Amino acid sequence: MNIKPILKEIQKSFLSGVSFMMPAVVAGGIMLAISLATGEKSETGVVVTSELMQNINILGKAAFAMMIPILGGYIAYSIAGKPGLAPGMILGFLANNPVMINEVEVKSGFLGAMLLGVAAGYFVKWIKTWKVSKTIKTILPILIIPTITVLVLGMLYIYVIANPLAFLMNSLTNIMSSLNGSSAILLAVFIGLFGEVDMGGPITKSVSMFTLALMNEGVYEPNGMFRIAVAIPPIGIFLATLFFKKKFTEGDRDAAVAAGIMGCIGITEGAIPFVVSDIKRILPSTMIGTAVGCVIGAIGNVRCFVPHGGFIVLPVVENKIWFVAAIVIGSLVTAGILGFLKPSLETETKEVVKKSMKLTGEKVK
């Protein structure tokens, strides 16, 4: 049995679940941030006193409560199609709410929803292969599939899976909540180095999912670090073309302006054409720059309440000066390293000519 196609399908389902979940996260995060921004600081955090803002806070929490069921539902949907949607959502809701096991409340959250979404998808896919009469087939997606899937996987989750998953999630949340000093900086380095290594690809999305899982548990610092990281590569490349004009073509400089604007609104993908054209110089520069930016964010205890980055999210960021400083300094570091690594256009042209002459068998002078 070849497991690679299954792993690719699961990875695709995770990305699908995250993309469908994003609107709920964005809406909830913005409303929470607006309500908290008007609150009063106390020893236990921020207290919202205005009735209007309290109601906006409730709306934000409602959106956040929906994000995990949506994740589970669309993971199952990606694998099994429409019949997997309802069971995946119901099981996702189950994972994100406490269940009583031996008189102890257990909640697995993000991890549970992901696992149950995959399980529901494949369970529904299997039920769809059953050979049944035409009468049964008409009620299969409406009655039989959701009932059997939720009953079987729900009971399996409650009595077998919930405890170990909840232990893992609680351990992760406790570790993240207690991070300070050198441990927080270590996490920042990790997020900086790997968060944007593929510029918005699967690795980036995996790190994003990790920060979203912690947001769901009320831990916003890792998301703050990651939202700094997404802005730095394109802005850093733009600054490099600005400071080291003689090392870039006119076409590069024009394209970098667009990339810089994309970076300011939190779209890392603007850096992709530059990485593809010169990966050995661009990638080390951006990785080091994002790591520096994330470390500054960790030192400043930056918290971001929405799953987006760049200067555009500044109104919903806590410790705004540190957030801005982290992006600016990280981008300058990226630009400086790239300017140092990249040769002048004349030198680069000579290197290309030499390589082409070697390939064609001509004598290199």
pLDDT digits (tens, 9 = 90+) for 338-359: 999 988 877 655 555 555 555 5
Of 177, 205, 225, the residue at which a domain comes to its end is 177
CA angle, residues 343, 344, 346, in degrees to nearest 5: 120
Which amino acid is present at 20?
Answer: F
Are 190 and 225 found together in one domain?
Answer: yes
Are 230 and 85 found together in one domain?
Answer: no
Look at residue 44 in the predicted model and tell me its pLDDT: 46
Are 125 and 200 found together in one domain?
Answer: no
Are 145 and 217 found together in one domain?
Answer: no
Are 155 and 203 found together in one domain?
Answer: no
pLDDT digits (tens, 9 = 90+) for 68-105: 899 899 999 999 999 999 999 999 999 888 887 777 77
Are 330 and 190 found together in one domain?
Answer: yes
Does some domain include residue 308? Answer: yes
Look at residue 297 in the predicted model and tell me its pLDDT: 94
Are 122 and 222 found together in one domain?
Answer: no
Cβ-count burial of 212 within 10 angstroms (0-12 exposed, 13-18 middle, 19+ buried)? buried
- Give 350's contacts (C-beta < 8 A, 6+ positions apart): none
- Give this prediction's pTM: 0.65
Of 177, 194, 215, the residue at which a domain comes to its end is 177
Are 240 and 103 found together in one domain?
Answer: no
Q: Which of 239, 282, 249, 251 is nearest to 348 (CA)?
A: 249
Count how many residues are written for the chain: 365
> What whole-number distance in Å separates Cα of residue 306 and Cα of residue 195?
16
Look at residue 326 in the predicted model and tell me its pLDDT: 96
Look at residue 41 in the predicted model and tell me its pLDDT: 58
Does some domain include residue 359? Answer: no
210 close to 222: Cβ distance less than 8 angstroms? yes
Are 96 and 123 found together in one domain?
Answer: yes
274 close to 318: Cβ distance less than 8 angstroms? no
Look at residue 150 in the predicted model and tell me its pLDDT: 96
Look at residue 177 in the predicted model and tell me its pLDDT: 58
Of 121, 142, 177, the residue at which a domain comes to its end is 177
Does some domain include residue 364? Answer: no
- Residues of the chain under the 70 pLDDT cut: 1, 37, 39-46, 169-170, 172-182, 200-203, 347-365
> What whole-number distance in Å separates Cα of residue 55 and Cα of residue 48?
10
Domain extent for 315: 182-353
Cβ-count burial of 8 within 10 angstroms (0-12 exposed, 13-18 middle, 19+ buried)? exposed
